[in-house]
Each structure stands twice: as C-alpha cells, then as structure tokens.
Homo-oligomer: A and B are copies of this chain.
C-alpha cells in the first residue's frame, strides 16, 4: 500500500494569521498579520473569543487574496474545543460550504490534504482551510481553571492563542502542494497529558519514515522539515528515534513549537502547542520565507494528540497522529 499521495494542479495562494499577546511578544512577532492584546477579543467568554479570532482571520485571508466569500468553494478546518465549535460559530455567517475536520493539532495539515484532494480531482476551484487554538479555552477544557494558577511541569507546552487560514486553489501560483502522507494513529503507551510531545513523537517518526522510505528523497533535499508542536522534549525524542532507524535529520529539522516563543525569556517550558502553532508559524513565518525565496522545498508534518479529558481521567494512553505535506516553490 503506497503512503504518498501525489497532487496535480494544487497551489497555495495566500495565508492569514492572527495571534494573541504572548505570541506577539515572541521572536516571530513581525510575521503575523494581526494580533490582539485582549484575551477576550472583545467578547464576553474565552470560547466566543476564539470564534471571533477565527472569523477575523478568515476575513484577513479574503482581503489579502482579494476574494469575496462567494468566490470560495469550500472551507475546511477545525479547532480543539469540544465539537469544534470555535470554527462552526465563526464560519456560520459566511454562507460558504463547510467540512469540519478534527486532527487535534495536526488539523491545519489534515485540512490542507483534504482540500488538495477536492482541488486535485477538479471538484472545486479553491478552498480556504483554517485551524485555531486559544490558551484560555484549552486550559480550562483540558486542564484546570486559570484562576487555580496551577504549576506547569517541565515537559508541558503552552497552547498558542492564534488562528491560521490559507487559500488553496487550482490556479497556478509559485507554491505547489506536491505530495502528502496521511498519518496512521500511533499509540506508544504514554499517559502523561503534560508530555504530549513524547506521545506525538512516535507518530511523527512513523509518518516521516514512511515518506522518506517511499519517496527516496534525502533529508538534504529540503530547506526545512518542520513538525507541528512536538516541543523541545518531543523534538529530541523524534530525532533520536529517526537516527536509530537510520534517518539522520540535520539543522533543517525543526519544530514550530520551538520557534514561536523565546522559550527562556518567556518561560515556556518545553515550548508551544495547539492547532494554531503550526497554522500560524507556517502561515506567518515560513510562508513569508518561501515568498522571499529563502525556503523553496519544505516538508510540514502536523502532529496531533487524540486524547480528551475523560480519556486521561480513565487512565487511557494518548493516541497520536501526524500528517505530512510537501510544498515547493517553483518559478512561473
């Protein structure tokens, strides 16, 4: 069974990103389209704030791409809230056909793969994808009320407040979505919900190995190989496991969860996580570097931990998944 899906005629046209205060104080600050100091985004609950953030980001995307809502064939995406409501309330007014996806923090890459499938087959001309997360909604849903002021463990990661939304289309641009690998769920038995990087690392390794084994590509062929949100701990584990399997990734191997914050100065333990981590770091930072021709050949591996709060309380392990896409810059 082949692992790599090869797309024809699928291009990335534009991206839009919105982030919160902490993200706007990090090293990638200048790369985001918009940031908001108010954790409530002008609403009266964290959950409504996340929806408002998604709605704004989609509007920024439409503006940058010079499109009206009726020009968009399909929206695909999701978030971490129970039943993905941040996305559904945000998209509700748009009148654009919608497919809800759930891949935890891999959602932006899962959405890119599904959108590419519709465009590749000629079913639609374009599709907007999006993924969001919000520190405050994630903390109270997965962990504790913020008011507790609970202590963080060294392996814990900080959920990014942000949203990334991209436009994919059949009309040629310089950025081709060439290939994808759909992840398999991998469960290595890790049960510590404060160490999701370790749980997701083996899923990333599985997907990366399947890609390199089948494609025959070498790590040096890429300007950047970036995972979504393994964090420092998960990144180290994945490097070590890949090395044992004979794949030595070098300086071009990084993780979006290690890029968005100044981990020391901002006291971010093992780094960043959340659907918005890869969605904003690629959409804001890496895509702009592709536009500047600093990066031409990029592998993105979105990583997701498929747990919920009850599964942790019921002493279940953390099934994880990693989806991959390969984007190349081509001169047209």
Contact = CB atoms under 8 A, between A and B. Distances in A.
A98 B45 contact: no
Contacts of A103: 99-100
Contacts of A124: 5
Interface in A74-130: 74, 78, 80-85, 88-89, 91-104, 110, 113-114, 117-118, 120-124
B117 A121 contact: yes
Nearest to A78: B102
B1 A70 contact: yes
A209 to B, nearest CB: 14
A93 B310 CA distance: 20
B110 A117 contact: no
Contacts of A110: 99-100
A330 to B, nearest CB: 21
Contact of A97 (B3, B84, B92, B97): B3
A43 to B, nearest CB: 10
Interface stretch (A143-151, A283-291, A311-319): A311-319
A184 interface: yes
Interface residues of A, number: 60
Q: Kindly name the residue among A92, A102, A110 whose own CB sees the greatest number of chain B CB atoms within 10 A.
A: A102
A85 B185 contact: no
Interface string A302-325: 000011111100101001010000
Contact of A85 (B47, B70, B80, B307): B307
A306 B117 contact: no
A308 B120 contact: no
A48 interface: yes
Given A82-B83, A89-B316, A99 B185 contact: no
A2 to B, nearest CB: 9
Interface in A39-63: 45, 47-48
Contact of A83 (B92, B102, B183): B102
A308 B88 CA distance: 10
A319 B3 contact: no
A187 interface: yes
A297 interface: no
A100 B306 CA distance: 10
Residue among A97, A124, A187 having the largest count of chain B Cβ atoms under 10 Å? A97
A304 B305 CA distance: 25
A103 B183 CA distance: 20
A73 interface: yes
Given A1-B70, A117-B117, 6 more contacts: A80-B83, A81-B310, A84-B102, A95-B184, A117-B118, A121-B122
Sorted nearest first, the 10 A-B pairs with minimum C-beta distance are: A121-B121, A97-B182, A88-B306, A83-B308, A82-B82, A100-B102, A82-B308, A92-B319, A102-B102, A92-B185
Interface of A: 1, 3, 5, 7, 45, 47-48, 70-71, 73-74, 78, 80-85, 88-89, 91-104, 110, 113-114, 117-118, 120-124, 181-185, 187, 306-311, 314, 316, 319, 321
